[in-house]
A = this chain, B = another copy of it.
Amino acid sequence: MFKRLRKRGSKKIGLSPGTLVHVGEKKTDEVKLSVIDYNLNNAKFEELESVGELTHYIEKDTVSWLNVSGLHKPDIIDKIGDEYDIHSLTLEDILHTEQRPKVEIYDDYVFIVLKMLQYNDQKKELDAEQVSLILGQNYLITFQEKEGDVFDRVRSWIEKGQGRIRKKGADYLAYALIDAVVDHYFLVLERFGDHIENLEEKVFSAPDSAMVSEIQKMKGDLIYIRKSVWPLRESVNILLRDELNFINSENMVFLRDLYDHIIQVIDTVETFREMSSGLLDVYLSSISNRMNEVMKVLTIIATIFIPLTFIAGIYGMNFQYMPELEVPWAYPVVWAVFVMVAIVMVLYFRRKKWL
């Protein structure tokens, strides 16, 4: 968890700005470049061997979407930057996978950074990947740390010509991809919802100390999600507010819809955070309750038997002159006293509602 929070550039520090270095984990072996080029009538899918092949697509009227997965070869990124005339700071940010989500508006393009989240079931961990988008006049470039399947649904819409996507430009494509990422947040949050529900049931029935660590971990994850989504909200807001010429004004309604979804993610995250804090309270009160119960058992047993033991102790003394010892009915009387003391105690505890 923390690793994600800290790592910014020990690798980078000392290098002169402008040097492209990949900062982050290497998550894939190969860098893959794939282009989808489409308009209303046609859609062409191609895997590129080298950056050079890009030139085919640049000057065309069609919408071209270049997807780069794998960021560990700075020179490839550099060449793409040259091809599309991208500012060097943008390229640095793409390679630097510990960015906060943000939008930056340049003269020729909009640069959008966001976080793709996925719940890794094997490791029981939240998996974050940085996705960068460069939206230009009729092109979109996306950078992923590794190949993923979140964008597949958009690819399939383009392929089959479903929905509005083929009728719209690169701006709608960008919207569709961001929306796909945001929809994935809901899937991740569903997991957390289930998890909270499970914990909630367990905290009442069988609280154990491992739960605190689980709750703590979940809170950390939720903080991370919040940190990923809050700036995204601001980013989309910037796109909505500034009238950019890359974004068709009639597509604004989709951005607004996207904005609503992001707000909903934030709402849910906040609710989950409150819920997990609540869980901790419940856990602590559960522990208190159990301690109380333990104490009651101890007190009841001790309070009944300690006085009895004392009485037995008295008649275990070896004084020569203890008249009671010789009385024949003394022993049954002592038994009666034992029973009476016990009954009185039990009644006392009943009245106190300890039994």
Mark A residues whose CB is within 8 Å of B. 2-3, 5-10, 12-14, 16-19, 87, 89, 93, 98-100, 102, 104, 153, 157, 162-165, 176, 179, 183, 186-187, 189-190, 193, 196-197, 200, 204, 206, 209, 212-213, 216, 219-220, 223, 227, 253-254, 256-257, 260-261, 263-264, 267-268, 271-272, 274-275, 278, 280-299, 301-303, 305-310, 312-322, 324-326, 328-331, 334, 338, 352-354
Contact = CB atoms under 8 A, between A and B. Distances in A.
A227 B271 contact: yes
B10 A190 contact: yes
Contact of A289 (B164, B223, B287, B331): B287
Mostly helix, strand, loop or mixed at chain A's interface? helix
Q: Which 7 A-B pairs have the closest CB atoms?
A: A16-B163, A312-B313, A315-B317, A16-B162, A6-B193, A298-B299, A316-B316
A209 B316 contact: no
Given A13-B187, A263-B100, A278-B216, A322 B313 contact: no
A353 B290 CA distance: 11
Contacts of A286: 209, 212
Contacts of A176: 17
Given A104-B256, A254-B89, A331-B322, A285 B291 contact: no
Contacts of A260: 99-100, 102
Contact of A193 (B5, B209, B274, B302): B5
Contacts of A256: 104
Contacts of A325: 318-320
Contact of A100 (B267, B314, B322): B267
